[in-house]
Amino acid sequence: MRRDYTLYLFAALGSFLIIYIALPLLIIFLKQTADIGMLIKTLHDPLVIKSLRNSLLTATATALISLLFGVPLGYVLARKEFHGKSIVQAVVDVPIVIPHSVVGIMLLVTFSSAILDSYTGIIAAMLFVSAPFTINAARDGFLAVDERLEHVARTLGASRLRAFSSIALPIAFPSIASGAIMTWARAISEVGAILIVAYYPKTAQILVMEYFNNYGLRASRPISVILVLMSLTLFIALRWLVGRAKNA
């Protein structure tokens, strides 16, 4: 039998992107390790600690809001055919393609002083750009659930809500959880819209830019390392938990 090298070729091609992503991460960690004093100094900076806390709290709030409203919408998109469904789906997806500085302008035009320089503004900006990940993941998760299982539950006397909560939701949970993780990750990485809507209270994403502009690369690098390390740790931990739930 002739040996097929297709997978080896694909692996070699795909390795370019793995190396391209991993190399900057490795380099910034190595360079910061050689300048550990600056990292320790940064960790004692009250403004840095407060900005990191702001980023974590607002990104987590964004993910929870996305779950509250996005999971029901994902279920409707998976289970119901209706006029204008393609338009609704387009509206869900459009934040992914709009430049994020434009998102900030749109939010300011729409909500004005109600969101300017506030935690509400930060969450509003994060929610706009990250909600599609929760909605689409929930929709795909529910699409993978055999609708006949819910029909059987309903013929046995369960309400639609009971069938949803006891059958569809548990089966779709890994997909929904993955979407929530991506929503959180996208929220904590947002800069452009937040820069316009809510420069204050300061988040870590904005502080990195401020330190770079005012003090240069050496001052901004430790905050970047802390933010990357914090995000990676949480991201890997959540992925591990989702993996365990999926295999349980």
Count the residues in the chain: 248
Reply yes or no on whether the pLDDT at 38 is more than 90.
no
DSSP 219: H
pTM of the model: 0.84
- Condensed to tens digits (0 to 9), the pLDDT of residues 170-181 reads 888 888 988 998
Please give the tally of structural domains in the chain: 1
Q: Does some domain include residue 109? A: yes
- Condensed to tens digits (0 to 9), the pLDDT of residues 174-228 reads 889 889 988 998 898 888 889 999 888 889 888 888 888 888 888 888 888 888 8
- Condensed to tens digits (0 to 9), the pLDDT of residues 225-238 reads 888 888 888 778 77
φ/ψ of residue 197, rounded to 5:
-80, -45
Beta-sheet strands, E only, within 53-110 = none
Q: Does some domain include residue 12? A: no
- Residue listed under structure tokens 């279920």: 75
Q: Does some domain include residue 219? A: yes
Query: What CATH number did the domain enclosing 163 receive?
Result: 1.10.3720.10
Structural domain of 45:
24-247
- Residue listed under structure tokens 């990940």: 133
Question: Could you tell me the two tokens for 187?
Answer: 């929220």
CA 127 to chain centre: 9
Q: Does some domain include residue 113? A: yes
Q: Does some domain include residue 168? A: yes
Reply yes or no on whether the pLDDT at 247 is more than 80.
no
The answer for 79, left when phi > 0, alpha when psi is -120 to 50, beta otherwise, is alpha
